[in-house]
Amino acid sequence: MLTKKDSSAIVNCVNYSLGISRRSPTFAVGLLIVVLFLMLALMADVLSPYSPTQSFSYKVLNHPGDQFLFGSDGNGMDVFSRVLHGCRYAFGISIPAGLIMITIGVPLGLVAGYKGGLVDEVLLRILDVLRSFPTIILALAVVAAMGQSLTSMVLVIGVLDSPIFARVVRAEVLALRSSSFVMAAIAMGNPAWRIMFVHILPNAILGVTAQLPMRMAWAVRISATLAFIGVGIQAPTPEWGAMIRQGAEFVITGEWWVALFPGIALMILVLGFNLLGDGLSDLLDPRRRSVGK
């Protein structure tokens, strides 16, 4: 039996989330998609009818149908089970990569923006190099160099993308540096690290929050692209990019399902992350706050 207090809390909670989803439907839809995929990833073992690497050697390239919901691939493996297990790889790459991006990029941007000088100059030049350097080629070369493993892929993606966070934080810090609360903190005799991390960081973190889902989307995409080219994760592993690579050779002879389903899953998850980021920047931007009402 719910007490009155409990139920009003629930009503408040529901109202609040309704309000958010009315203010930014993109955010709500994005969150829904990402949470759904997270659940699929967690329950992949329970939901999938077969093991993702179990091979039915007499049932190669079966049409989608009764036994195999999404058909079977060139090795006679169930595409549906493999797509489900692919969710695990997507999150297994994007979550740690996102953490790496933040732990490297945010302090770098703080120091560069607050201290200026040499650190700032070096950061700007690195950004210049990265801007004129094709990211995918860079990622390809580094993953090929560091050895073909999941860990190296996560590391490369995280490190490569951290300058983007540095840039976002740097821009916010530059705007905040001369504001009165920072001046007051300096006048109080706070050390520089304390001003950066305790006073400026909480005010600069909003931009990062909106950026993170977009960069995670990028991480999912680029890891799949690398696997598609044949670098990073190799074939029998149920990763979406590697599955599309397997399916590519059958497309021209009309066996579409091997490549179609992992691609759709990849697209929806990336779309979810992007919607989430888009909605977050809408919700967090005070100038646009009134537009969506």
Taking the complex as a whole, how short is the minimal distance between the CB of residue 143 and other proteins, in angstroms?
A: 9
- Give me the residues that bind other proteins (CB under 8 A), please: 26, 125, 128-129, 131-138, 140-142, 144-148, 217, 221, 224-225, 228-231, 241, 244, 247-248, 251-254, 256, 259-260, 263, 266-268, 270-271, 274-275, 278, 287, 291-292
> Which CB sits closer to other proteins, 60 or 268?
268
Taking the complex as a whole, how short is the minimal distance between the CB of residue 128 and other proteins, in angstroms?
A: 5
Structure tokens at 81: 């089970």
| d(C-alpha 101, C-alpha 3), whole Å | 45
In sequence order, the 6+-apart residues with CB closer than 8 A to the CB of 23 are: 282, 283, 289, 292, 293
| d(C-alpha 96, C-alpha 101), whole Å | 9
Structure tokens at 155: 């590391």
> Which CB sits closer to other proteins, 118 or 137?
137
User: Interhelix angle for 257-284 vs 240-251, to 10°?
Assistant: 140
Taking the complex as a whole, how short is the minimal distance between the CB of residue 259 and other proteins, in angstroms?
A: 5
Task: Based on DSSP, count helices (H) and strands (E) in the chain, helices before strands.
Answer: 12, 0
Taking the complex as a whole, how short is the minimal distance between the CB of residue 266 and other proteins, in angstroms?
A: 6
Q: What are phi and psi of 188, to 5 degrees?
A: -75, -10
> Which CB sits closer to other proteins, 107 or 279?
279
> Which CB sits closer to other proteins, 106 or 156?
156
Matching residue, tokens 């169930």: 78
Burial of 292 (0-12, 13-18, 19+ CB in 10 A): middle
> What are the start-end ranges of the H helices in 24-149?
25-42, 44-47, 79-115, 117-131, 135-146
> Which CB sits closer to other proteins, 2 or 145?
145
> Which CB sits closer to other proteins, 120 or 190?
120
Taking the complex as a whole, how short is the minimal distance between the CB of residue 273 and other proteins, in angstroms?
A: 8
Taking the complex as a whole, how short is the minimal distance between the CB of residue 211 and other proteins, in angstroms?
A: 15
Structure tokens at 168: 């976002």
> Which CB sits closer to other proteins, 133 or 181?
133
| d(C-alpha 141, C-alpha 163), whole Å | 18
> Which CB sits closer to other proteins, 110 or 123?
123
Taking the complex as a whole, how short is the minimal distance between the CB of residue 230 and other proteins, in angstroms?
A: 7
Structure tokens at 10: 């629930």
User: Interhelix angle for 117-131 vs 79-115, to 10°?
Assistant: 140
